[in-house]
Amino acid sequence: MPESARYPDYISVGPGTPTGNFLRQFWQPVYESGRLKSGRAVPLRILGEDFTLYRGQSGKAFVVDPRCAHRGALLSIGRIDGDNLACLYHGWTYDGAGQCLAQPAEQRSFASSVKIKSYPVQEYVGFVFAYFGSGDTPPFPRILAAEGEGLLESRESRRPYPFFSQLENSVDEVHFNFTHRQSTFSDVGLNDEIPEIDCKETDYGLIRYGKRTEATRISHILMPNCLYSKVHDELLGWTEHLSWRVPIDDETHSSFVAKKSTLTGDDVKKYQKRKEDARALLSGLESADIVADRILRGELHIDDMPHRPDQVMIQDLVVLRSQGPRPRRENDQLGASDKQIRLLRQMYRRELQAQAEARPMKQWRVPPDLTTSTGLSD
């Protein structure tokens, strides 16, 4: 097999690229629902492409092309009128399906012949999702565990390295014992021993087992780019995480994390107070990016970094940025503990190959009652 087929380009995600086309065949989170105000538009960059995201006055969200068909002004600086979007330059007005409805300065309007692209949108677990693929829109995959009672927190965080590096890190349980040696992972028994890794392909993606003497941790990858796992949070204990790794462009991605805990009532208030305290503490510290830069420049060792609430994130940031902006996967020397990395790459490779040859690709089905487990006491 030629090297290019054994090691496809997992990094380029723009329009027309194999990985970009593949990711476009699935619903992707693009924005935090709570940040998109009614009657406002914002610019959106996803998969190396620009779009306009807006929320109409009815509360419904829409994704359309970035620019006005008239003379190319950015629509994200426009005005919302009902559920329509009016360009700030000369007032051409579009509906959520991209159809031009009005050209106020034209005596003979030709609006009916003008249309910009629009994309299907859904809101779920606190995020706006959009579908950028061709053909029929696939059904939206739901996870019932993320919908039940309890506290749901949804947050986007942007990270300066490729989505595929983060996706591989999502299945890599061995790194806990090294990268996260100094973290609360030790308090809950995740760092006591190097787990024996097992994994297999499923109807929805990949199941991963991290076997330890006392317990086995079970997590999943929902193809193509979502980790579903139980994560230990310093303030919350064990929580269900749905974490989508969505490329902004080739070298930057956003992690869209929907975190579900079982907290209710007064416990939520207590947690929110602790969270405010953690936020106040963080606001007085150097930013995570600056600390990571200092570690990468050799001015600080990670083990000398004083404890801080975003410690685990900085530890990942440092190792993943250290792999370089476009890591060459063909240089990697994988061992038995990389079984899950190998499987994930094989699944991508097989699907990209089928896509290139216009053969049928696997139809992934996420069971709504899928569950995760730590095997450790909750």
Name the residues that contact Fe ion, by CB under 5 A: 316
Taking CB under 6 A as the criterion, the residue among 7, 49, 73, 289 binding ligand FES is 73
Question: How many chain residues bind ligand FES (CB under 6 A)?
Answer: 9
Question: 155 contacts which partner out of ligand FES, Fe ion, none, CB within 5 to 8 A by kind?
Answer: none
- Binding of ligand FES by 68 (CB under 6 A): yes
Quick one: 168 or 316, whose CB is closer to Fe ion? 316
- In the complex, the smallest distance separating the C-beta of residue 52 from ligand FES, rounded to whole angstroms, is 12
CB 259 within 8 A of CB 266: no
The set of residues, in sequence order, having a beta carbon less than 8 Å from that of 273 and lying 6+ positions away, is none
Of 42-50, 68-76, 214-222, 263-271, the segment contacting ligand FES by CB under 6 A is 68-76
Of 85-93, 143-151, 329-337, 344-352, the segment contacting ligand FES by CB under 6 A is 85-93
Question: 70 contacts which partner out of ligand FES, Fe ion, none, CB within 5 to 8 A by kind?
Answer: ligand FES
Question: 87 contacts which partner out of ligand FES, Fe ion, none, CB within 5 to 8 A by kind?
Answer: ligand FES
Report DSSP letters for 86-154, one per residue: E-TTT--EE-TTSBEEE-TT-SS--GGG-B--EE-EEEETTEEEE---SSSPPPPP--GGGTSSSEEEE
Terminal Cα-to-Cα distance of the chain (whole angstroms): 47
- Binding of ligand FES by 94 (CB under 6 A): no
- In the complex, the smallest distance separating the C-beta of residue 77 from ligand FES, rounded to whole angstroms, is 10
CB 206 within 8 A of CB 171: yes
Strand pairing report for 28-32 and 127-130? antiparallel
- In the complex, the smallest distance separating the C-beta of residue 91 from ligand FES, rounded to whole angstroms, is 6
The set of residues, in sequence order, having a beta carbon less than 8 Å from that of 220 and lying 6+ positions away, is 202, 204, 205, 206, 207, 208, 227, 228, 229, 370, 372
Q: Which helix (H) or strand (E) holds 356?
A: helix 339-356
- Binding of ligand FES by 71 (CB under 6 A): yes
| Sign for the pseudo-dihedral over CA of 211, 217, 220, 221 | negative
Angle at 94 between CA 93 and CA 98, to 5 degrees: 160
Taking CB under 6 A as the criterion, the residue among 87, 125, 292, 319 binding ligand FES is 87
CB 129 within 8 A of CB 29: yes
- In the complex, the smallest distance separating the C-beta of residue 100 from Fe ion, rounded to whole angstroms, is 47
Which amino acid, residue 65?
A: D
Which amino acid, residue 200?
A: K
- In the complex, the smallest distance separating the C-beta of residue 60 from ligand FES, rounded to whole angstroms, is 22
Tokens representing 292 are 């990571």
Taking CB under 6 A as the criterion, the residue among 40, 90, 212, 294 binding ligand FES is 90
- In the complex, the smallest distance separating the C-beta of residue 102 from ligand FES, rounded to whole angstroms, is 10
Taking CB under 6 A as the criterion, the residue among 14, 49, 89, 262 binding ligand FES is 89
Report DSSP letters for 316-329, one per residue: HHHHHHHT-SS--G
Quick one: 109 or 186, whose CB is closer to ligand FES? 109
Q: Hey, is 296 helix, strand or coil?
A: helix
Question: 7 contacts which partner out of ligand FES, Fe ion, none, CB within 5 to 8 A by kind?
Answer: none
Distance CA 330, CA 333 (A): 8
Distance CA 118, CA 139 (A): 18
x-or-dash pattern for ligand FES, window 9-48, by CB under 6 A? ----------------------------------------
Of 70-78, 128-136, 201-209, 305-313, the segment contacting ligand FES by CB under 6 A is 70-78
Question: 133 contacts which partner out of Fe ion, ligand FES, none, CB within 5 to 8 A by kind?
Answer: none
Which amino acid, residue 52?
A: T
Which one-letter DSSP state was computed for residue 74?
A: B
Taking CB under 6 A as the criterion, the residue among 40, 70, 79, 181 binding ligand FES is 70
- In the complex, the smallest distance separating the C-beta of residue 69 from ligand FES, rounded to whole angstroms, is 8
Distance CA 35, CA 283 (A): 20
Quick one: 7 or 89, whose CB is closer to ligand FES? 89
Residues within the interface to ligand FES (CB under 6 A):
68, 70-71, 73, 87, 89-92
